[in-house]
Amino acid sequence: MNRFPFSAIVAQDEMKQALLLAAVDPAIGGVMVFGDRGTGKSTAARALAAILPPITAVEGCRFGCAPPDAGTCPDPCTSKKTAKRAVPFVDLPLGATEDRVIGALDLERALRSGEKRFEPGLLAKAHRGFLYIDEINLLEDHLVDLLLDVAASGENLVEREGLSVRHKAKFVLIGSGNPEEGELRPQLLDRFGLSVEVRTPQTLDARVEIMRRCAAHERDPAAFCAEWAPADAKIVRKIAKGRTRLPSVETPDEVLYDASRLCMACRADGLRGELTLMRAARAQAALEGADTVKRKHVIAVAPMALRHRLRRDVLDETGSTTRIERAVAEVFG
Amino acid sequence: MTSPDAPPAAADAALALRAFALWPAGFGGLWLRGPGPARDALVERLGSAVRLRRMPAHIDGERLHGGIDLAASLAAGRSVSRSGFLEEARGGVVIAPLAERITPALAGSVAQALDHAEPAERFGLVLLDDGAERDEMPPLSLTERVAFACDLGSAAPGDLASTALPAPLASPAEIPACSAAGLEALAAVSLALGVDSGRALRFAALTAGASARLDGRDFVQESDLAAAARLVLAPRATRLPPPPQDDADAEPPPPPPPPPESDADTPGDEEQEDNGTPDPDQLIEAAAAAIPPGLLEALADGRTRRGAGSGGGARHLSPLRGRPLAARQGLPRGGARLALIDTLRAAVPWQALRRTEGETHSGLRIMKDDVRVRRFEARSASVTIFAVDASGSAAFTRLAEAKGAVELLLAQAYVKRTEVALVAFRGQDAQLLLPPTRSLTRARRALTELPGGGGTPLAAGLSMVCTLGTGLARRGYTPLLVLLTDGRGNIALDGSTNRAAATEDALKAGRAIAAAGLAGVVIDISPRPRPEAAAVAAAMRARYVPLPQANATVLSKVIGALA
């Protein structure tokens, strides 16, 4: 399959940056992408998943267990062999039922042999990969609750239909939506780690470039992908380096103070803002190849980590990004 | 294509149809608005060339995605799987009748299939949209993914039925590419019309190429670009193109001589027909001429392309009535009704297990976990709450007009199934003159009896409206607040005559309305628009409409557009 290459996406730097951070540290807790249709949201997410190096999993495991975790899934997997598989990318359709998402009784087995067996759902499929939900603001509330809960705990717990099953489900949750078509409840928004706003570039050159690349990709997908393969490979290497570096990145106290002061200055609700800000800053430092987190890393990720946590002020119509920039200027001069 | 007059709709539709036939998976599909002979002719023509499959709007998830066929499995004693509709449709063309009724859930699944990475795995989608009003349209996630939009409501079929369809291309590389100048022109049109989707850009470039190919050329010329702008970009316009510089007079049709700036670096203005250096301004004009007329009105109204359907409120789940949704696990209490079939279906797979585990009496064993209840999705009724400023400052100028508007709206309420409530504030406090009702007589009487004069307890009026609105919202209605005032409150919440405190209280009450998420509109009925009413509107996050020359008809039109 020749998907549109990640590095060939024109502009949209903030979205790409947020996705890279989430790839380096999945614990950041998901990315929410706000924007109109046709701004390359799903293209970027899919492209990133497609270029990541394959993961190693226990052979034949339906839950995608990593080799050290062998036997921890409900099946349980017993194979000593391992196999490579592509990083999972699950595209959750709006109409998905709860059964399909969390898994359900395996009807086939139940009918044929009267055997009680769990049929993994989309959450199991997304383990160690990405779960993408377009128009998350239109998804039924109870499903969004469930997804965020699993994304936060990294575990899917099924207690229904006489089944009692738990399995690992660690994934990067990527939601997208157009706020004008329906808001996401603030409580849910807060649980996303990062949020970015995307818009189609408003310059002539960028638009021409978009059309040119789309046409080239359509004309000959294989050649187009080959052309961009080196750039994609560079990104993959950057992510891999960032991942290995992340555990050793140090966080000095003064940077922690910086983060707290920034959160207070823009009156971000809740502690989650500070925690995510620090995590994202660490990932940013790792991605840049730094050994310690510096103030500039905090500033670089502040808009995407805090934007969706600002309290709504009815009299202040300024956009949240501007408010954060203002706070940055206030705190750090 | 230098003429600003758009060709007849049927001719454009024929072009769209032929381009679509070249590469159905690449163009995504057609969005055909308005039933009529032209549309029937087009579909018939398409059906004679490719395999069409109809997708009913009520198709369920099981059928869509496939899975285990329960009935067949039980009969056969082994699992029988059934392929899903989306899978079966691959490589063909799907016709979606009543496309304006497609639910977001169904649209999501179909959109995903349209986005498949391999073009061979996708299908073309033809949306047959019977929506009568601008608000009723297919889900944006689908209209976004089909290249062409044609309004065939009033078009004559012309020779649509006999349009010669080209054979599908073997490879998309056979579609000629646009020159750099051509792409630039399309980009300029997209910017001018406020088309912000990357997909639209892609479709536009592709359409220009397809138009050239259909004409038997291997290069793209201006007429191709104009066709792309008309067919792809114009229907997606979100704003009107800015008037062409300063030399634009009151009459747009005669195109001004080529603006010197854009042509300074391109030689040969004369040969624009075929030298591939198009003039963006002319393209924009051609596209603007093709913008559907309804869109202009909507833009002039300041309305966006979404909004609640007429007469209907927001959708919500209801255990009792509405459109049926999938049953959910749960016990039939609190008004929910038992979904017998779904309960049985949930219980059936377990019978073999339960028989081995449990005691040996025959018959179906149904347990608590199996029980399913029905759910419905209902559109909540909308209630328009009028808050009329009947104080001395407002009364003498506009009260009669406000009364007239309320009456007109009430008459519409029968048609649109909305209800109306009336709050008046004057003197010391606010009064609920009319609780939500559809009764014309009661409302008329309440209105006629409404006296005018006295102070302006704006804050009291707003807080009463807020209480009423939130209460209605909680009971499942969708309230819309219409505040008719001049915004000059002079009675504070505590009843004292203090302009500063009254203004502060009014703004506070306004913010409470915004916080409660109630939609509204503030109509400034002072003879000259004043900042006070605008401030109240801002606090309420409501639309502000100054109506210096309002009369009942204009008022009801403004509100009717919002309701």
Domain for residue B198, yes or no? yes
Binding-face residues of B in 26-85 toward A, CB within 8 A: 26, 61, 64, 68, 70, 73-74, 77-79
Identify which of A1, A91, A113 has the shortest CB distance to residue B112: A91
CATH number, residue B195? 1.10.8
Nearest to B421 by CA among B433, B429, B431: B433
Q: What pLDDT sits at residue B133?
A: 61
The burial class, CB within 10 Å (0-12 / 13-18 / 19+), for B317 is middle
Q: What pLDDT sits at residue B322?
A: 57
Do B304 and A107 lie within an 8 Å CB cutoff?
no
Q: Would you call B186 helix, strand, or coil by DSSP?
A: helix
Chain A residues lying within 8 Å of B141, measured CB to CB:
37, 134-135
Query: What is the rounded distance in angstroms from the CA atom of residue B172 to the CA atom of residue B151?
Result: 27
The total domain count for chain A is 2
Query: What is the rounded distance in angstroms from the CA atom of residue B129 to the CA atom of residue B100?
Result: 6
For residue B102, what are the CA distances in angstroms to A112, B138, B374? 36, 6, 21
Query: What is the rounded distance in angstroms from the CA atom of residue B164 to the CA atom of residue B17?
Result: 10
Q: How many CB atoms lie within 10 A of CB A16?
A: 20
Do B117 and A108 lie within an 8 Å CB cutoff?
no
Residues of chain B with pLDDT under 70: 1-8, 68-71, 73-79, 132-135, 242-278, 290-325, 332-336, 357-363, 376-381, 394-398, 402, 405-406, 409-418, 438-442, 547-563
For residue B506, what are the CA distances in angstroms to B182, B468, B533? 56, 16, 10
Domain for residue A132, yes or no? yes
Domain for residue B267, yes or no? no
The burial class, CB within 10 Å (0-12 / 13-18 / 19+), for B322 is middle
CATH number, residue A132? 3.40.50.300
Q: Are residues A24 and A146 in the same domain?
A: yes
Q: Which residues, other chains included, contact B541 with Cβ-Cβ below 8 Å and sequence gap of 6+?
A: A314, B513, B514
Query: What is the rounded distance in angstroms from the CA atom of residue B69 to the CA atom of residue B193?
Result: 49
Domain for residue B202, yes or no? yes
Query: What is the rounded distance in angstroms from the CA atom of residue B298 to the CA atom of residue A260?
Result: 46
Q: Are residues B148 and B2 in the same domain?
A: yes
pLDDT tens readout for residues A63-122? 888 888 887 888 878 888 889 988 899 988 877 777 788 888 776 677 667 777 888 999
Domain for residue B102, yes or no? yes
Helices (H), B417-551: 440-448, 458-474, 499-515, 531-540
The token duo for A29 is 């807790």
The total domain count for chain B is 4
Q: What SS3 string covers B475-508? A: CCCEEEEEEEECCCCCECCCCCECHHHHHHHHHH
Query: What is the rounded distance in angstroms from the CA atom of residue A196 to the CA atom of residue A304?
Result: 6
Q: Which of B305, B324, B359 is the last residue of a domain?
A: B305
Do A38 and B103 lie within an 8 Å CB cutoff?
no
Q: Are residues B411 and B509 in the same domain?
A: yes
Nearest to B195 by CA among B238, B255, B254: B238
Domain for residue B56, yes or no? yes
Q: What is the pTM of this model?
A: 0.70
Identify which of A114, A208, A315 has the shortest CB distance to residue B353: A114
Query: What is the rounded distance in angstroms from the CA atom of residue B266 to the CA atom of residue A50?
Result: 43
- Range A244-283 burial, b when 16+ CB lie within 10 A, else e: ebbeebebeeebbebbbebbebbebeeebbbbbbbbbbbb
Q: What pLDDT sits at residue B243?
A: 59
Query: Widest CA span of chain A, in angstroms?
Result: 71
The share of chain A scoring above pLDDT 70, in percent, equals 92
Q: What pLDDT sits at residue B9?
A: 73
Q: Are residues A100 and A174 in the same domain?
A: yes
Q: Which of B360, B377, B394 is the last residue of a domain?
A: B377
Q: Are residues A15 and A162 in the same domain?
A: yes
Do B306 and A112 lie within an 8 Å CB cutoff?
no
Q: Are residues A19 and A144 in the same domain?
A: yes
The token duo for B337 is 């009704």
Q: What pLDDT sits at residue A15?
A: 94
CATH number, residue A327? 1.10.8.80
Q: Are residues B205 and B64 in the same domain?
A: no
Q: Would you call B116 helix, strand, or coil by DSSP?
A: coil
Chain A residues lying within 8 Å of B173, measured CB to CB:
219-220
Q: What pLDDT sits at residue B256?
A: 40
Q: Are residues B150 and B4 in the same domain?
A: yes
Domain for residue A240, yes or no? no
Q: DSSP characters for A177-242?
A: E-GGG-PPPHHHHHHSSEEEEE----SHHHHHHHHHHHHHHHH-HHHHHHHHHHHHHHHHHHHHHH
Chain B residues lying within 8 Å of A135, measured CB to CB:
104, 108, 141
Domain for residue A162, yes or no? yes
Q: What pLDDT sits at residue B523?
A: 79
Q: Are residues B11 and B81 in the same domain?
A: yes
- B545, B529 in Cβ contact below 8 A? no
Catalytic status, residue A295: no
Q: Are residues A193 and A252 in the same domain?
A: no
pLDDT tens readout for residues A117-166? 888 999 999 999 999 988 887 777 778 878 888 888 889 998 876 678 89
Do A215 and B205 lie within an 8 Å CB cutoff?
yes
For residue A197, what are the β-bridge partners?
A34
Query: What is the rounded distance in angstroms from the CA atom of residue B401 to the CA atom of residue B552?
Result: 5
Query: What is the rounded distance in angstroms from the CA atom of residue A11 to the CA atom of residue A33?
Result: 15
Find the domain containing B349 and state its range.
Answer: 314-377
Q: Are residues A169 and A254 in the same domain?
A: no
Q: Are residues B142 and B31 in the same domain?
A: yes
pLDDT tens readout for residues A259-299? 999 998 887 767 888 999 999 999 999 999 999 999 999 99
* Catalytic-role residue among A85, A100, A109, A272: A272
Q: Are residues B331 and B300 in the same domain?
A: no
Domain for residue A226, yes or no? no
Cα B299–Cα B302–Cα B304 angle in degrees, nearest 5: 75
pLDDT tens readout for residues B418-458? 677 888 888 888 888 878 876 666 677 777 777 777 888 88
Domain for residue A46, yes or no? yes
Find the domain containing A269 and state its range.
Answer: 247-332
Binding-face residues of B in 79-108 toward A, CB within 8 A: 79, 103-108
- Distance to chain B for A331, nearest Cα, Å: 29
Domain for residue B165, yes or no? no
Nearest CA in chain B to A183: B517
- Distance to chain A for B345, nearest Cα, Å: 11
Say what the ipTM of the complex is.
0.87
Q: Are residues A28 and A121 in the same domain?
A: yes
A174 pLDDT more than 80: yes
The token duo for A253 is 């106290």
Identify which of A3, A37, A138 has the shortest CB distance to residue B144: A37
Identify which of B108, B140, B206 has the shortest CB distance to residue A95: B108
Q: Are residues B335 and B424 in the same domain?
A: no
Q: Are residues A119 and A24 in the same domain?
A: yes
Query: What is the rounded distance in angstroms from the CA atom of residue B396 to the CA atom of residue B330?
Result: 59
Q: Are residues B24 and B136 in the same domain?
A: yes
Q: Are residues A130 and A34 in the same domain?
A: yes
Give the orientation angle of helix A295-306 with respect to helix A320-332, to 10 degrees: 150
First to last CA, chain A: 49
Domain for residue B366, yes or no? yes
Domain for residue A213, yes or no? no
Domain for residue A206, yes or no? no
Q: Would you call B426 helix, strand, or coil by DSSP?
A: strand
The DSSP code for A316 is -
Q: Are residues B81 and B207 in the same domain?
A: no
